[in-house]
């Protein structure tokens, strides 16, 4: 009889532990959802006031098939012009190239071969622009149209408090 009582008591303690774990897990999701909503609203506010941005960049593209990395360096520029976001890139290394995105098209100029290539982004303009303006004038809730977004916690970068978001393509 004592053995049976111990088994029942162990089972009840285990069940209580599982219930507390599930409640704690769902509570952390609720907190995560609230934090994500807070961050998205902050991004929406910042996007409404966005006018322009400029940054230096290093872009590494890795090709696993040939185990090769292509590194390009330069400057990238964003601006909001009559409600539309425009982008220009001045690639300086390894070969000079210039990229311009405006009016639904991408223009790629390679001075070494004196060639301009034009790509129309009108077919996938919404998806292209949501990727292009991510962090440069795109609102936080705009990301939800193209990405599954999760709040991953706060992180300090230098002296700046930031929120860390994760994403996955839909």
* Whether residue 71 is found in the same domain as residue 98: yes
* Whether residue 45 is found in the same domain as residue 58: no
* Whether residue 55 is found in the same domain as residue 118: yes
- The string of pLDDT tens digits covering residues 19-68 is 333 333 334 445 678 889 998 888 888 877 878 888 898 988 888 899 99
Q: Which pLDDT belongs to residue 126?
A: 65
| pLDDT band, residue 92 (cuts 50/70/90) | very high
* Whether residue 41 is found in the same domain as residue 86: no
CA 165 – CA 59 distance, rounded (Å): 21
Residue 12 lies in a domain: no
* Whether residue 118 is found in the same domain as residue 85: yes
Residue 104 lies in a domain: yes
Question: Beta 52-63 vs 97-102: how paired, if at all?
Answer: unpaired
* Whether residue 72 is found in the same domain as residue 114: yes
Residue 106 lies in a domain: yes
* Whether residue 108 is found in the same domain as residue 159: no
Two structure tokens written together for 19: 């219930």
Omega of the bond prior to 140 within 30 degrees of 0, cis?
no
Counting residues of the chain whose pLDDT is more than 70, the rounded percentage is 71
Does residue 96 register a pLDDT over 80?
A: yes
* Whether residue 144 is found in the same domain as residue 113: no
* Whether residue 55 is found in the same domain as residue 101: yes
Looking at residues 71-92, what average pLDDT do you find?
A: 87
Beta-carbon contacts of 167 under 8 Å, excluding residues fewer than 6 positions away, are: 143, 147, 148, 149, 150
Domain tally for the chain?
Answer: 2
How is residue 94 annotated by DSSP? S
* Whether residue 81 is found in the same domain as residue 118: yes
**Which position has the higher pLDDT, 13 or 29?**
29
Q: Is 140 helix (H, G, I), strand (E, B) or coil?
A: helix
CB 42 within 8 A of CB 48: no
Residue 73 lies in a domain: yes
Does residue 137 register a pLDDT over 80?
A: no
Q: Which pLDDT belongs to residue 9?
A: 42
Query: Which structural domain, as residue segments, surrounds residue 162?
Result: 31-50+138-170
* Whether residue 65 is found in the same domain as residue 86: yes
Residue 89 lies in a domain: yes
Two structure tokens written together for 153: 């916690």
Residue 97 lies in a domain: yes
Does residue 146 register a pLDDT over 80?
A: no
Question: Beta 105-110 vs 68-81: how paired, if at all?
Answer: unpaired
Q: Which pLDDT belongs to residue 116?
A: 94
Helix (H) or strand (E) holding 66: none
Residue 9 lies in a domain: no
Q: Which pLDDT belongs to residue 93?
A: 92
**In sequence order, what E strands does 51-127 have?**
52-63, 68-81, 84-93, 97-102, 105-110, 115-120
CB 96 within 8 A of CB 113: no
Residue 19 lies in a domain: no
* Whether residue 116 is found in the same domain as residue 147: no
């Amino acid at each position: 009889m004592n053995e049976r009582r111990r088994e029942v008591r162990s089972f009840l303690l285990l069940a209580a532990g599982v219930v507390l774990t599930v409640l704690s897990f769902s509570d952390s999701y609720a907190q995560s959802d609230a934090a994500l909503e807070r961050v998205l609203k902050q991004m929406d506010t910042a996007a409404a006031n966005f006018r322009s941005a400029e940054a230096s960049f290093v872009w590494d593209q890795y090709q696993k098939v040939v185990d090769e990395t292509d590194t390009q360096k330069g400057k990238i520029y964003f601006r909001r012009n009559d409600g539309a976001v425009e982008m220009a890139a001045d690639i300086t290394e390894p070969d000079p190239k210039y990229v311009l995105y405006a009016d639904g098209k991408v223009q790629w100029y390679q001075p070494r071969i004196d060639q301009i290539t034009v790509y129309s982004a009108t077919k996938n303009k919404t998806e292209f622009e949501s990727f292009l303006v991510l962090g440069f004038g795109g609102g936080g809730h705009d990301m939800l149209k193209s990405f599954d977004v999760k709040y991953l916690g706060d992180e300090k970068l230098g002296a700046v408090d930031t929120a860390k978001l994760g994403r996955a393509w839909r």
